[in-house]
């Protein structure tokens, strides 16, 4: 399970890089106006899976716990960024970001009456985030 716990963060990172830099409309919407937001997201998000994979690979109690905590923060951030707004708990900033960067992207959930609807690219991020948490937690508990 340790190998999976090291590999999944790289898959998560690869998905982010792919969807944030390779135009695949309507899966993503890489309008020139959102370049600044993508650069900020990259600088914040890209180091985290490397720290998680490194923490698992180091395989010390403290590094495994740190990797698990980072995974929990990723899942919590995903829920706060997408699922709470979908169910009506959103800030004006979240609604504006959605309107400018994600309103035209591919969705499978109902959109009627929703200010923010999670799109397919972020649903995949969510699934990968939960898988990353599960594999890291398993490596931590069995390590």
pLDDT score, position 34: 80
From first to last of its 143 residues, the chain has per-residue pLDDT tens of: 799 999 999 999 999 999 999 999 999 999 887 888 899 999 999 999 999 999 999 999 999 999 999 999 999 999 999 999 999 999 999 999 999 899 999 999 999 999 999 999 999 999 999 999 999 999 999 97
Spatial separation of the C-alpha atoms in residues 17 and 122, rounded to whole Å: 13
| Closest residue by Cα to residue 118 from 135, 132, 103, 128 | 103
């Amino acid at each position: 399970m340790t190998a999976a716990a090291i590999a999944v963060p790289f898959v998560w990172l690869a998905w982010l890089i792919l969807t944030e830099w390779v135009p695949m409309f309507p899966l993503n919407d890489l309008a020139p106006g959102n370049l600044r937001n993508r650069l900020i997201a990259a600088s914040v998000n890209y180091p985290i899976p490397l720290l998680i994979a490194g923490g698992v690979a180091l395989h010390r109690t403290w590094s495994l716990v740190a990797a698990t905590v980072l995974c929990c923060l990723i899942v919590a951030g995903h829920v706060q960024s997408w699922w709470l707004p979908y169910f009506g708990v959103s800030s004006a900033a979240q609604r504006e970001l959605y309107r400018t960067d994600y309103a035209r992207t591919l969705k499978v959930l109902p959109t009627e009456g929703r200010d923010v609807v999670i799109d397919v690219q972020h649903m995949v991020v969510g699934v990968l985030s939960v898988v990353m948490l599960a594999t890291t937690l398993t490596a931590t508990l069995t390590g």
